[in-house]
Amino acid sequence: MKLGIAQINGVIGDFPGNAKRLLQAYRECLEQGAELVITPELSLAGYPPRDLIFKSQFVSKCLQALDYLASEVKDVPLLVGHVDQNDSGKPGKPFRNAAAFLHQGSIAAKVWKTLLPTYDVFDERRYFEPGDHCEPIVWNGLRLGVTICEDIWSEDFLQRPLYDRDPVRELHAQGIDLLLNLSASPFHLGKPEIRRELMADIARETGVPVVYANSIGGNDQLVFDGHSLVASPDGRIAVQLEGFVERCTTVDLNALPSGEAPLPQPVAAGQLHDALVLGLRDYVRKCGFHSVCLGLSGGIDSAVTAVIAAEALGAENVHGLTMPSPFSSGGSVDDSLHLATTLGIRCDTVPIAATFTSVKEAMAPLFVGTREDVTEENMQARIRGLYLMSLSNKFGHLLLTTGNKSELAVGYCTIYGDMCGGLAVISDLPKTRVYELSRWINREREIIPWNTIEKPPSAELRPDQKDQDTLPPYDELDAILELYVERHLGAEEIIAHGHPESLVRWIQRRVDLNEWKRQQAAPGLRVTSKAFGMGRRMPIVQGFVG
């Protein structure tokens, strides 16, 4: 059988647009000879719809769009993900995460998701009732095992068993010729490789081909990378679709390639680049913006953000602003202008010295008898935030913040200053990853000035300031943050890894104290296994020390 895989990029709640894109993909697969077409999880509704699903007309409009799709599907079936009503008559959640088998102008069968994740960024039990049984769809003499995303994630690939059911084994016990999975699996570094291993194991265990159709696109903080694939019954990954782009491909399951499909982009920095470009592009366009602005400080964070923005949106849609203070070096301004020239983006210079002086003079009567301290440093950051927000308001740009994960973790950022903006592009990149990505960007030629990469990082808010005046070296900071934030280890466990106790306690305290600041931060693009934002829900007011 020739099976079409539609790796498509939908918009949450845009039922007419999603239905149109699904039909385009379906017809593209038909032109390639497909005899059955599979699409990602909730491809008609967009994933994750979150509380939008409770809007009174959301599910009914989804089902109307599903009926329209069904009317357009004739001889070749289409398997499409959608939101369904829970019409079981039993107590439970009002909706189901469903897949509809469309054939001959009607909905021939439905499958409901059985395993509903409630960890990390997922909260599906808030909305959906799980399917209470698994059985194959019988079509054209074949028994099709249809699963939805989490249904195939076995206990071997989770930290501990989360469910008392295994839909794959249930289907396999009933006899299936093919296992299909509709997925919306968000990206984080290393996730495509984990999926390959999972699909290979399932194919070997069941002895049937496994077809995995994953979403691509950016939806709020989540980036979906695609990398749809086909695993042969012997456990080889025979087909691997390109990541971070829409693709419609038809695969002959009776004549799978004999070799192993190449791994996805093997360089971590390359995957990070592609994920951030896709996430930024979709966030801007799906929110109705056409252009962005950002502050260019001459530092590495704003430089990497500018490169990502120019790649995602085109240089003509990126407006930079360099805002030297009395403490800014001439080299920082030169590096900003050099970067802008290389990228072809607009960059204007607006000094903040006069405004800074005016604010200090205005506050002087209240500050009598005090010395200048971090207050005056933050004034400068907030003046820059004012300038950037004014530029955003006047021209309709989306303002990008440029802070990294290391800074955000310990609060080395100014609320209502450099944290102003609508999207935090690199807020899930630790500083060491920012350096890694910058060198990858410069792998063939200088794009980011090498001086920007090699000079000591500085906020330049006081004379001769360096980040390391306040923070430990970034390689040590990031190592401890990974253990504390991503692996959830306590202080004693982190100290046992060889880190100084005083430093561990200081970082732990800084992370905990700055939760209030992070909860006011712009949404950031998730590219690691544990990002600040929707996947990490910490109380601001708490007294736990561990």
Question: Consecutive 10-residue runs of the chain (546 residues): their mean pLDDT?
Answer: 97 97 97 98 97 95 97 96 92 95 97 94 94 94 97 71 88 96 96 94 95 97 97 96 96 92 88 97 97 96 98 98 85 91 97 95 96 93 97 98 96 95 97 96 96 79 68 93 93 95 95 94 94 86 81
> Among 314, 519, 296, 515, which Cα is nearest to 400's?
296
Catalytic residue among 41, 124, 129, 407: 41
Structure tokens at 281: 């592009």
Q: What pLDDT sits at residue 327?
A: 81
| Alpha-carbon span 449 to 335, nearest angstrom | 6
Burial grade of 255 (CB within 10 A; 0-12, 13-18, 19 or more): exposed
Q: Active-site residue 113, yes or no?
A: yes
| Alpha-carbon span 257 to 260, nearest angstrom | 8
Q: What pLDDT sits at residue 159?
A: 61
Q: Which residues contact 30 (CB under 8 A, 6 or more apart)?
A: 4, 37, 76
Q: What pLDDT sits at residue 106?
A: 96
> Hey, which bits of 205-327 come out as E strands?
210-214, 216-219, 222-225, 229-231, 237-240, 247-252, 292-295, 318-322
Q: What pLDDT sits at residue 465?
A: 63
pLDDT digits (tens, 9 = 90+) for 382-411: 999 999 999 999 999 999 999 999 999 999
Q: Active-site residue 41, yes or no?
A: yes
Q: What pLDDT sits at residue 538?
A: 87
| Alpha-carbon span 81 to 510, nearest angstrom | 43
Going along the chain from its start, the domains and CATH numbers come out as 2-266 (3.60.110.10), 272-467 (3.40.50.620)
Q: What pLDDT sits at residue 157?
A: 54
| Alpha-carbon span 179 to 167, nearest angstrom | 11
Q: What pLDDT sits at residue 544?
A: 82
Q: What pLDDT sits at residue 160?
A: 64
| Alpha-carbon span 266 to 281, nearest angstrom | 23
Cα–Cα distances (Å) from 60 to 22, 64, 97, in that order, read 18, 6, 14
Catalytic residue among 149, 248, 293, 420: 149
Tell me the sheet residues that pair with 400. 423
Catalytic residue among 29, 35, 113, 377: 113
Q: What pLDDT sits at residue 329?
A: 72
Tell me the sheet residues that pair with 186. 224
pLDDT digits (tens, 9 = 90+) for 18-67: 999 999 999 999 999 999 999 999 999 999 999 999 999 999 999 999 99
